[in-house]
Amino acid sequence: MRTAPTILHLDMDAFFASVEQASKPSLRGKAVVVGGLGPRGVVATASYEARIFGVHSAMPTAQARRLAPHAAYLVPRFGLYRSVSEQVMGLLRELSPLVEPLSLDEAFVDLEAGGSAWDGESARLAGSKLRADIRAATGLTGSVGLAASKMLAKIASEQAKPDGLVLVEPGTEQALLGPMPVRTLPGVGPATGDHLRRAGITTVEELAEAGEDELVRLLGKAHGHALSAMALARDQRPVVAERETKSVSVEDTYDVDIHDRVRVGIEVQRLADRCVGRLRGAGLSGRTIVLKVRRYDFSTLTRSETLRGPTDDPAVVREAAARLLEAVDTTGGVRLLGVGVTGLADYTQEDLFAQAAGERAAGDPVAEAVPEAVAEQPETTERLWRAGQDVRHAEHGYGWVQGSGLGRVTVRFETPQSDPGRVRTFRGDDPDLEPADPLPLVPGPPERDCAASDGAQPSSVPASLPKSWSESLGGEATSRP
Ligand SMILES: [Mg+2]
């Protein structure tokens, strides 16, 4: 293990909600919740103002509405989040070739491998400059953790939140970890946490005191061994730039051909579950489900289906695999079956939204998506106006949908560089009103040539939409499910 705190973990602060507040001046300093707005939608990100009411990620949106009824509830704009994420990841890659993104707003960076830091002092400088550069390029804040291992760098960035930097001095790791709950350690989920608590172990210190033999007895060899090392702050995991796994799949060959159609179906379900087990084990999710069938005559078919968003939900994978099987003739018997998932992504907040997006497509009334709606009635217009969506009015210019229902849409006219704007209501089918692309948070082309590390932001430049920006957002299918 290295001795200098040169592994950096960056985590943008309340990323989606912060982007929304930067875009919409009237929401700055206010409770903002971004997520699925349908009946089974979940919160992707809550602003710090909303967290005061107890709202947090992965909470059902319905529950969030009860806790914070006056918060702004907005659909995610992934196209914009992705553009901002690319800017941030670009800044990280200037520090080192070893950048390991965990999601749109989170990544590890090996500063030493990039020659941008070699000891505590140079690491702290690199971290501070990075935070300033991110602020200048995007207008947003991110928190930085620095340590000699990935585990501690991530814990440090959590402690730094919001808008801070924490460096764990080498040699102080165990003292820092000791009083923390066991759940702080990677690989300790609710089940393991419960198991340990029943054995009287609640803190990392108690975990370290229990010793490796006891942990192996409690949790099995692999897990017990790994956890005992983590408890002693020993984490050798390297920062990995490229993900090697491109797909996860499982298959079974049968000694005797299966002829029974029901049995084939059961086998496919079983394989789907195993495949999801592996997917989750690797902390991944994927968009494309693949079914492989080798028949009695050795002819092999593969069929695939691409979902709206990445999933690691066994029910979703099972259903997709069953649909694919329906289209395959197995009457002669099958000798091999396989289920795979490709189009892999890290498990991110986006996955939470994928679920909500599916629900919306299944027909949740627009009226329910917005607090301003007077009643739930079928939409009379063809057009779907969703809370938070970007629009442009021929006369009033750029704005965003604040609410809709009963054939009306309420728009707040403001832009990232304007003062908080006014609200106007239109008919849902007003020909002067049209969907628009998001405006950049910081004026000017999104290229990161801004050496403005002095923190000066050119906020007086009028809002404009560079062509390159709007084009780069044009092909975002995921943002418009
Ligand atoms: Mg974050």
Q: Which tens digits make up the pLDDT trace of 300-332? A: 888 888 887 778 888 999 999 999 999 888 888
Q: Are 401 and 443 in contact (CB under 8 A)?
A: no
Quickly state the pLDDT bin for 165 (edges 50, 70, 90).
Answer: very high
- C-alpha–C-alpha distance, residues 104 and 156, integer Å: 19
pLDDT, residue 32, reads: 98
Q: Quote the ligand 1 centre to 14 CA distance (angstroms).
A: 5
pLDDT, residue 17, reads: 97
174-179 mean pLDDT: 94
Share of the chain above pLDDT 70, in %: 83
Quickly state the pLDDT bin for 409 (edges 50, 70, 90).
Answer: very high
* Dihedral (CA of 252, 255, 256, 262) sign: negative
pLDDT surpasses 80 at 181: yes
* Dihedral (CA of 385, 386, 387, 388) sign: negative
Quickly state the pLDDT bin for 445 (edges 50, 70, 90).
Answer: low
Q: Quote the ligand 1 centre to 259 CA distance (angstroms).
A: 51
Catalytic residues: 106
- C-alpha–C-alpha distance, residues 261 and 329, integer Å: 10
Q: Quote the ligand 1 centre to 13 CA distance (angstroms).
A: 5
pLDDT surpasses 60 at 198: yes
- In tens, the pLDDT along 6-35 reads 999 999 999 999 999 999 999 999 999 999
Q: Quote the ligand 1 centre to 85 CA distance (angstroms).
A: 11
Closest listed residue to residue 365, CA positions, set 38, 36, 35: 38
Quickly state the pLDDT bin for 368 (edges 50, 70, 90).
Answer: very low
379-395 mean pLDDT: 80
289, β-bridge pairs: 305, 341
289-293 mean pLDDT: 93
- C-alpha–C-alpha distance, residues 150 and 147, integer Å: 7
Share of the chain above pLDDT 90, in %: 58
pTM above 0.75, yes or no: no
Q: Quote the ligand 1 centre to 123 CA distance (angstroms).
A: 21
Return the H-helix or E-strand segment holding 165.
strand 165-167
- In tens, the pLDDT along 117-126 reads 999 999 999 9
Quickly state the pLDDT bin for 411 (edges 50, 70, 90).
Answer: very high
- In tens, the pLDDT along 62-83 reads 999 999 999 999 999 988 998 9
- C-alpha–C-alpha distance, residues 204 and 169, integer Å: 18
Q: Are 152 and 234 in contact (CB under 8 A)?
A: no
Give the residue extent of every domain in the chain: 187-231, 247-352
Q: What's the Cα-to-Cα distance from 414 to each of 14, 27, 438, 468, rounded to whole Å?
A: 22, 11, 12, 22
419 in a labelled binding site? no
pLDDT surpasses 60 at 226: yes
91-99 mean pLDDT: 94
The mean pLDDT of the chain is 83
User: Radius of gyration (Cα) for the chain, nearest Å?
Assistant: 25
Residue given tokens 């009306």 in the structure block:
408
Q: Does domain 247-352 have CATH number 3.30.1490.100?
A: yes
pLDDT surpasses 50 at 380: no
Is 277 buried (19+), middle (13-18) or exposed (0-12) by CB count in 10 A? middle
Among the residue ranges 15-29, 155-169, 340-354, 413-427, the one predicted with the least confidence is 340-354
pLDDT, residue 75, reads: 92
Please give the angle made by the CA atoms of 441, 446 and 448, to the nearest 5 degrees: 115
192-210 mean pLDDT: 93
Q: What's the Cα-to-Cα distance from 285 to each of 280, 314, 455, rounded to whole Å?
A: 7, 11, 37
pLDDT, residue 365, reads: 32
Amino acid making up residue 58:
A
Quickly state the pLDDT bin for 346 (edges 50, 70, 90).
Answer: low
The length of the chain in residues reads: 481
pLDDT, residue 242, reads: 62
- C-alpha–C-alpha distance, residues 459 and 443, integer Å: 8
- C-alpha–C-alpha distance, residues 402 and 387, integer Å: 5
- In tens, the pLDDT along 35-49 reads 988 887 889 999 999
pLDDT surpasses 70 at 354: no
Q: What is the DSSP letter of 183?
A: G
11 in a labelled binding site? yes
253-270 mean pLDDT: 92
